[in-house]
Amino acid sequence: MSTPNQPGPLSRRTFLGLLGSAGVLAACGDDGGAADTEFEVWVLQQESQNIVQRGALDRFNGGSSVKAKLVANPNDGYRDKLHVAIGTAQAPDVFFNWGGGSIRTYARQGLLEDLTPHLDGDPAFKNAFLPSVLDAGRIDGKFYGVPLRGMQPIILYFHRKVFADLNLQPPKTWQEMLAAIDRLKAAGITPIALAGAVSWTELMWLEYLTDRIGGAQVFEAIASGKKGAWGHQAVRQSVDTIRALVDRGAFGTNYSSVQYAAGGASTLFAQGKAGMHLMGSWEFTNQQKDEPAFAKDSLGFVDFPVFDGGQGHPKAIVGNPTNYFSVTKRSGAKDAALKFLKQEMASEAYVTDWLKAGDVPAVSNLDRAIPAAASNKEFATLVYTMVKDAPSFQLSWDQAIERAQAQPMLDALAKVFLGQLDAKGFVDANEAVAPR
């Protein structure tokens, strides 16, 4: 889904990985036997992130004759620039991406290095990352990316004071969710804050409901291009459930005009005018900055409820597992690029830098590092525990599917929330643009 600080089909969000096998490293020496004396690492132009990334490059360059060069690109136009360069001599050696649909075509065209042997050949390297996040970077069963930054699961937040005043408990099941909605509405409080003016906020509901009802395999089939996958009963039931929520008044009456930024849904929630808010992990950080008293005393969080009779795992999560680094297959400094990723991406220095910057890296055994380095220990522990315990971490749908399908999906979903499309209409709209 598009988020406030990550470009995507509308505009969209990382942490660095390490790659290479012991065999590659033994063969390559200091410069990996590469023909080039420099390799480019493309990232997004975001200063807080670039500081951490420059530190990694500086450490690597201090001991290598083949130097890594950081190339920071503006968010706007990055995908187009990559698309133009990827199959040419101007292609980067290592590049930032969102995994899934953002690189699937490149992988299938043979433009990317298959990282599977480098990971499988070095178990310590592979096990340095949380499995659910690493697996989210797979395409057709092969690894083409490694975690680049932090993890951003979608979380169901609730207003502790509002719930306490109404003697409510945060919902753990869908029936409890419906009961809470009714109680909040009866008290004159919008049950769920929703910035419906931007459809990526609505996508979170479809993602979680489909996962809870049908399990992770439902969207896996859609993302892989399986014929007729959009017509799965779990998708249809999720759309029906969303329409029922709207009719029940779960999102109030003017949600379609509520913005995410500039005093939108987050502000309504912080002010106690809404009881719940389904949003990414960045909501916690934003509330700490904008509404510190609320964040400290009344901002609660819980897993998305279990759907009665659903097939999904109660600990499965959706959102942005992380961003990824991939390596181009024709790189003239491939061995050095792999060596850089392996040396730096899960290093203690790199992990510490990201924790201090407020990110929660997608690495294993982070429990010991969080108390010493995290800028917010409670939040960091929450995110890390959610991801560590998750059997699956589903990439936001508008990032996981091909670009040509993402916007039509979001447009159709907006019509669902407005009551202009039913389940059949939504499925038909998506099947019409699905791969043939």
> What does the alpha-carbon distance between residue 311 and residue 72 come to, in Å, rounded to a whole number?
43
**Same domain, yes or no, for 160 and 266?**
yes
The phi, psi pair for 42, rounded to 5°, reads -90, 130
Over residues 347-363, the mean pLDDT reads: 90
Nearest to 327 by CA among 335, 315, 317: 335
Q: For residue 323, what are its two tokens?
A: 């961003």
Same domain, 160 and 279: yes
Confidence grade of residue 55 (pLDDT, cut at 50, 70, 90): very high
Same domain, 196 and 231: yes
Statement: residue 405 has pLDDT above 90: yes
Q: Per-residue confidence at 137, pLDDT binned at 50, 70, 90? A: confident
Residues 205 and 231 in one domain: yes
Q: Which two tokens stand for residue 111?
A: 């433009």
Instruction: Please report which confidence band the pLDDT of residue 1 belongs to, taking 50, 70 and 90 as the band edges.
Output: low
Q: Has residue 7 been placed in a domain? A: no
Residues of the domain holding 241? 152-318+407-431
Q: Does residue 400 fall inside a structural domain?
A: no
Higher pLDDT among residues 228 and 19, named by residue: 228
What is the pLDDT confidence band of residue 5, given thresholds at 50, 70 and 90?
A: very low
- State the pairing for strand pair 190-193/274-280: parallel
Q: Is the pLDDT of residue 44 over 70?
A: yes
What are the tens digits of pLDDT across the range 142-200?
999 999 888 999 999 999 999 999 999 999 999 999 999 999 999 999 999 999 999 99
In angstroms, what CA-CA distances link 175 with 5, 178, 274, 304, 415?
34, 5, 19, 12, 26
| CATH at 131 | 3.40.190.10
Q: What are phi and psi of 6, to 5 degrees?
A: -140, 120
Averaged over 384-408, what is the pLDDT? 91
Could you count the other beta carbons within 10 Å of the beta carbon of residue 346? 25
CB-neighbour burial class of residue 357 (10 A; exposed 0-12, middle 13-18, buried 19+):
middle
pLDDT at 19: 30
Amino acid found at 336: A
In contact, 141 and 211? CB cutoff 8 Å:
no
Residue 1 domain-assigned?
no
Q: Where residue 358 falls among pLDDT bands split at 50, 70, 90?
A: confident
For residue 402, tell me if it sits in a domain. no
- What integer is the mean pLDDT of 113-123? 95
For residues 317-340, average pLDDT: 94
